[in-house]
Amino acid sequence: MIAVIDYKAGNLTSVMKALTALGAAAQITEDPAVVRAAERVVLPGVGHFAATARLRETGIEDAARESIAAGVPFLGICVGLQWLFEGSTEASGVAGLGAMRGCCARFPDSHKVPHVGWNTIAAAGASRLLAGLPPQPFVYYTHSYRAPLVEETVGVTNYAGPFSGAVERGNLFGVQFHPEKSGDAGLQVLRNFLAVPRC
């Protein structure tokens, strides 16, 4: 079973729909016990970084840390990717998971914000998450804050400079774009995540 974490930050219907379409058994939950028991964990999110404070309050963060340490594949989407970092200037008092170094920051005023629409993502090194995609596939983004390039970056997108479109390390994965809204390319990314063995 796949735990899709609900932290009251937006709509989970589309993520559930995509996972279901790929034949996965997924369950929306805010129960740490369900997260601990899950074979895979997905942390969606289209809201404000501050909403991730709820993950700590509800004990989900501890459950997620244990699952990740135990090798359970974990995928953060959008704000879910940002949460893997140390924090975001969107909510400076709220710490992220800190699994990846650096802080997320707002796009500069030189560009329209949010960054909305289909943009290309370029592979940066070997990636299980982006395997089987055409070179420079288009994926759908909608966000105002972005994660820096780090050693875990496996996909780079440019908008007012380069940022992490996809990150992965071991069983930990994150995508800033919305795979559930990115057509065939997005479904392939989710399929890849579903195929990652527990490590």
The one catalytic residue in 61, 78, 104, 115 is 78
Based on the shown chain and the rule CB under 8 A, indicate whether residue 158 belongs to the binding site for other proteins.
Answer: yes
Q: Does 143 bind other proteins (CB under 8 A)?
A: yes
Q: Does 132 help bind other proteins (rule: CB under 8 A)?
A: no
Give the integer Cα–Cα distance in Å for 114 and 52. Answer: 19
For the bound state, the minimum distance from the C-beta of residue 119 to other proteins, rounded and expressed in Å, comes to 5
Cβ-based nearer residue to other proteins, 173 or 177? 177
Question: What values do phi and psi take at 31, rounded to 5?
Answer: -105, 115
Residue partners of 14: CB distance under 8 A and separation at least 6: 178, 180, 181
- Residue pair 16/41 in contact (Cβ under 8 Å)? The answer is no
Smallest separation (angstroms) from other proteins to the CB of 66: 29
Per-residue mark of binding to other proteins, 160-199 (x: CB under 8 A): ------------------x-xxxxx-xx------------
68 lies in the binding site for other proteins (CB under 8 A):
no
Task: State the minimum distance, in angstroms, from the CB of residue 102 to other proteins.
Answer: 23
What residues pair up with 28 in beta bridges, in sequence order?
4
Residue choice 10, 59, 102, 148 for contact with other proteins (CB under 8 A): 10
**Contact by Cβ (8 Å): 189, 133:** yes
104 tagged catalytic: no
DSSP string computed for 31-79: -HHHHHH-SEEEE---S-GGGGHHHHHTTHHHHHHHHHHTT--EEEETH
Name the CA dihedral angle for 94, 124, 128, 59, rounded to a multiple of 10 degrees.
0
Answer yes or no: are the C-beta atoms of 6 and 29 closer than 8 Å.
yes
Q: Mark the segment that binds other proteins (CB under 8 A) among 23-31, 65-73, 97-105, 139-147.
A: 139-147
Q: Under the criterion CB under 8 A, does residue 21 sit at the interface with other proteins?
A: yes
The residues carrying an active-site annotation are 78, 178, 180
Binding site for other proteins (CB under 8 A): 9-11, 13-14, 17-18, 21, 46-48, 109, 112-120, 134, 138, 140, 142-143, 158-159, 178, 180-184, 186-187
